[in-house]
C-alpha cells in the first residue's frame, strides 16, 4: 500500500466536481460523487500499479497512470513514486485532459 497525496489542484478538482454534481442533481448525487472519488483513491492506494498507462503513453508523459471513478465520467491522474502516489488532477473525461495535464506539469 502506498498513500495517495493529492496535489492542491487535485483537491480543488474534487471539490469542484462535488459542487457541480450538487448543482446539477442535488446533495445525494454530490455525496455519491464524493464517495466514488474517495473509493477510487482508496483502490489505487492498495493497488498502485493497476491504473491505466494508456493516456500517459498517448500524451508522452512517462509514468502517468489514470484510474476511473466508478459511475462518473472522471479520471484520477497520478504518478507512482517510491513512497507515495502523487495524485495530480481529477479531470472530467470530456475535458481537454492533454491541456489540463500540460498546464499542471509545466507549473512544476
Total domains present in the chain: 1
Q: 11: domain range? A: 4-106
Q: What is the pLDDT of residues 53-64, one digit of tens each?
A: 999 999 999 999
Average pLDDT over residues 11-27: 97
pLDDT at 68: 96
Query: Strand 85-89 relative to strand 4-6: parallel, antiparallel, unpaired?
Result: parallel
Q: How far apart are CA 66 and CA 89, in angstroms?
A: 10
Model confidence, pTM: 0.89
Q: The CATH number of the domain where 98 resides is what?
A: 3.30.2310.20
What Å distances lie between residue 31 and 18, 23, 58, 59, 75, CA to CA? 7, 12, 33, 32, 17
Amino acid at each position: 500500500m502506498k498513500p495517495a497525496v493529492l496535489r492542491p489542484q487535485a483537491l480543488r478538482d474534487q471539490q469542484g466536481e462535488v459542487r457541480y454534481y450538487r448543482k446539477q442533481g442535488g446533495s445525494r448525487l454530490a455525496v455519491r460523487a464524493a464517495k466514488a472519488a474517495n473509493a477510487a483513491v482508496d483502490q489505487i492506494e492498495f493497488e498502485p500499479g493497476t491504473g491505466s498507462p494508456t493516456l500517459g503513453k498517448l500524451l508522452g508523459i512517462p509514468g502517468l497512470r489514470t484510474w476511473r471513478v466508478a459511475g462518473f465520467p472522471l479520471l484520477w491522474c497520478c504518478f507512482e513514486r517510491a513512497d507515495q502516489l502523487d495524485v495530480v488532477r481529477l479531470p472530467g473525461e470530456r475535458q481537454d485532459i492533454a491541456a489540463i495535464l500540460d498546464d499542471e506539469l509545466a507549473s512544476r
